[in-house]
Amino acid sequence: MAYRSALVTGASKGIGAAIAAALVAQGLTVYALGRSESVLAELAAQLGDRLRPLVADVRDHAAIAEKLSGKEIDVLVNNAGGISTVRPLHEQTAEETEEGIALNLTAPLQLIRMLLPGMIARKRGHIFNLTSTAASAVFPGTTGYGAAKAGLSQAGRILRYDLAGTGVRLTEIAPGRVETQFYLQAFSGDAESLQERMYSHQRALHPEDIAAVLVNAMKLPAHADIAEIIVSPTDQAIGGHVYPAASG
Ligand SMILES: NC(=O)c1ccc[n+]([C@@H]2O[C@H](COP(=O)([O-])OP(=O)(O)OC[C@H]3O[C@@H](n4cnc5c(N)ncnc54)[C@H](OP(=O)(O)O)[C@@H]3O)[C@@H](O)[C@H]2O)c1
């Protein structure tokens, strides 16, 4: 494995924690970025000294640049993301809209901008962007989130022109429903309702499924790059919403 180190954003739980564990198991040193120092410390205690906690808000790219100064990052996993509300755009606050775009679109672009020059200089690198099936299908109440994920998806396609000939690979992974705490805030912290509504009736994906896909893509020979991949639960079709007839 030519890659030695990785930065995984949103590594404290869910998909990011599973990816961090999988990359440590592959022998990489993993900088695990999240806001919760205690949770990242627990992860480090479980995974050993190749897991290096990096406590930061992913939107604070200046602080991240400072903490990573002098470190070579071969694999960037843009995983941190979230949705604070599932509501029509006009019912959101200005802050909710702005923060959603900053987290799901601006932050990954800033990290790519920051880390790509080093990857190109070393002729070695792999960027993974975690988008969503919401980047292409319509899920009501997710206007800002879907727009941000679609933006990141399109950014990846354009970036491939910048990357051509550099040896740096870029893979977009677009998951369907994965059982994590992703919707917990949108469910006002009600874990029981979340479990009943989202995960009890159909089998969702597990975070480890996404980590396995990422590792498989990373381990392909250097000349091969999976550009985009949709990972769907067997029990989920994307979209498929129906609308009640208009009244009157
Ligand atoms: N779960 C799904 O069904 C699903 C489907 C499609 C795509 N995805 C995508 O997969 C990615 C991971 O989602 P998940 O399901 O694992 O969600 P999750 O369980 O809610 O975990 C989100 C992670 O992101 C971190 N994070 C959130 N805001 C952050 C910020 N401002 N700065 C730093 N870290 C931040 C969280 O850590 P702290 O709170 O400790 O900072 C946490 O580690 C996201 O990009 C999501 O859009 C998820």
**Atom number of ligand 1 nearest to Cα 82:** 47
Would 247 be classed as within a structural domain?
Answer: no
Would 65 be classed as within a structural domain?
Answer: yes
Residue 185: what pLDDT?
84
Nearest to 19 by CA among 79, 64, 74: 79
Q: How far is the CA of 33 from the centre of ligand 1 (A)?
A: 11
Q: What does the pLDDT look like over 48-90, one tens digit per residue?
A: 999 999 999 999 999 999 999 999 999 999 999 999 899 999 9
Would 236 be classed as within a structural domain?
Answer: no
Residue 1: what pLDDT?
61
Would 214 be classed as within a structural domain?
Answer: yes
CA dist list (Å): 124 to 25, 114, 166? 20, 15, 8
**pTM, to two decimals:** 0.96
Would 89 be classed as within a structural domain?
Answer: yes
Q: How far is the CA of 79 from the centre of ligand 1 (A)?
A: 6
pLDDT at position 243 over 80: no
Would 238 be classed as within a structural domain?
Answer: no
For residue 205, the 8-state DSSP code is: B
Quote the domain boundaries for residue 185: 5-231
Residue 190: what pLDDT?
87
Q: How far is the CA of 105 from the centre of ligand 1 (A)?
A: 13
| Distance of alpha carbon 226 from alpha carbon 170, whole angstroms | 8
- Catalytic residue of the set 145, 161, 199, 243: 145
**Catalytic: 3?**
no
Asked which of 4-13, 40-49, 157-166, 190-199 is least confident by mean pLDDT, the reply is 190-199
Residue 248: what pLDDT?
64
Domain harbouring 107, CATH code: 3.40.50.720
**Atom number of ligand 1 nearest to Cα 9:** 34
Pocket residues: Cβ below 6 A from ligand 1: 10-16, 34-36, 39, 57-59, 79-82, 103, 130, 132, 175, 177-178, 180-182
Q: What does the pLDDT look like over 174-233, one tens digit per residue?
A: 999 999 999 888 788 888 988 888 888 888 999 999 999 999 999 999 999 999 999 999
Query: Best mutation site among 7, 9, 33, 35 for ligand 1, i.e. most ligand atoms within 8 A of its Cβ?
Result: 35
Q: Who has greater pLDDT, 224 or 238?
A: 224
Q: What does the pLDDT look like over 104-150, one tens digit per residue?
A: 999 999 999 999 999 999 999 999 999 999 999 998 999 999 999 99
Residue 240: what pLDDT?
58
* Number of compact structural domains in the chain: 1
30 φ, ψ to 5°?
Answer: -120, 120
The SS3 of residue 126 is: strand
Q: How far is the CA of 82 from the centre of ligand 1 (A)?
A: 5
Would 159 be classed as within a structural domain?
Answer: yes
Would 211 be classed as within a structural domain?
Answer: yes
| Distance of alpha carbon 180 from alpha carbon 166, whole angstroms | 35
Give rounded-to-5 percent helix, strand, coil for the chain.
45, 15, 40
The whole-number average pLDDT for the span 4-8 is: 98
**Atom number of ligand 1 nearest to Cα 210:** 10
pLDDT band at 28 (very low <50, low <70, confident <90, very high): very high
